[in-house]
Amino acid sequence: MPKDSYEKELADLQLALVRFQQSAMTSGEKAVIVFEGRDAAGKDGAIKRITEHLSVRNTRVAALPKPSDRERTQWFFQRYVSHLPAAGELVIFNRSWYNRGGVEPVMGFCTPEEHRQFLADVPVFEAMLAQSGTRLVKVWIDISKKEQSKRLDDRRTDPLKVLKISPLDAEAQKRWSDYSAARDEMFTASHTAASPWTCVRGDDKEAARINIMRFLVRCLASKAIAKDVAAPDKDMVFPFDVSALSDGRLER
């Protein structure tokens, strides 16, 4: 996408999101956006563009650290519940309770039984959110193994990205197949009519950001706001279905 076209559409989409938030603040609507994906998939960059012009008081980004010893003894979803929105608020989870669907089982941070229990409980938990009047949007950003390797290398060599470096980065490529298997199991268990997954092909960062924002506006905003926003590129943004696990739309 040419830079001037990207910047023009980015500004238009940010304005549409501002108008959505104005409406939500008036109506009392509550919304949660969950961003998941492999390491270096582009979650941080997408969230930064989405929130850039939104209300600081009515928008929160939750990126929780590893649980404390006390939190490990709580009901698993408990520490996430405290971050859920009140009326007129938007909460974005930069990784979420789905840590237990991916990172934790792959890295051995939870037991097989805890993982199994999570997969059984998460559809019920998310149905409760929907019944409480909270809108939940789940976005998975998918990237290729080659692109992930390039981005992780960039982190190690760019001093401005030093704060993005994680001890788990080294495992992302080594355990690529394990992460793929965990993702597939997570999707199969947690993609429901009440809380579906939307997948985004993320190798092209700028195009992914634009398409994510198009999707969010058309998903969350009223028709009056969304009518002038282009539909996401169907080759880049698609609702999850089981065939995506084998037809090449999701990276293996």
Residues 35 and 135: their CA atoms lie apart, in Å, by 14
Given this model, what pLDDT does residue 147 score?
98
Residues 128 and 194: their CA atoms lie apart, in Å, by 10
SS3 at position 227: coil
Given this model, what pLDDT does residue 37 score?
98
Residues 138 and 196: their CA atoms lie apart, in Å, by 7
Per DSSP, helices labelled H in the chain are: 3-27, 43-51, 78-81, 103-107, 112-131, 145-157, 169-174, 176-190, 205-220, 223-226
Q: What does the block give as tokens for 108?
A: 């051995």
Residues 179 and 145: their CA atoms lie apart, in Å, by 11
- Could you read off the pLDDT of 95-117 as tens digits, one per residue? 999 999 999 999 999 999 999 99
Neighbours of 106 (CB within 10 A): 21
Beta strand 30-37 pairing with 90-94: parallel
Q: Which residues contact 184 (CB under 8 A, 6 or more apart)?
A: 245
Residues 45 and 200: their CA atoms lie apart, in Å, by 14
Highest CATH level, class, for 3-245: alpha beta
Residues 203 and 222: their CA atoms lie apart, in Å, by 30
The ranges assigned to domains in the chain are 3-245
Taking the chain (252 residues) in runs of 10, the rounded mean pLDDT of each run is: 93 98 98 98 98 98 96 97 98 98 97 98 98 98 98 94 90 97 98 97 98 98 97 98 95 93
Average pLDDT, the chain: 97
Given this model, what pLDDT does residue 198 score?
98
Least Cα distance to 49 among 9, 19, 20 occurs for 9
- Could you read off the pLDDT of 140-164 as tens digits, one per residue? 999 999 999 999 999 999 999 999 9
* 39 DSSP assignment: T
Given this model, what pLDDT does residue 66 score?
94
Given this model, what pLDDT does residue 212 score?
98
Least Cα distance to 187 among 77, 88, 98 occurs for 98
Q: What does the block give as tokens for 53?
A: 């012009």
Residue with tokens 């929105």: 85
Residues 103 and 167: their CA atoms lie apart, in Å, by 12
Q: Which residues contact 1 (CB under 8 A, 6 or more apart)?
A: 204, 206, 207, 210
Given this model, what pLDDT does residue 1 score?
77
Given this model, what pLDDT does residue 141 score?
98
Residues 207 and 90: their CA atoms lie apart, in Å, by 24
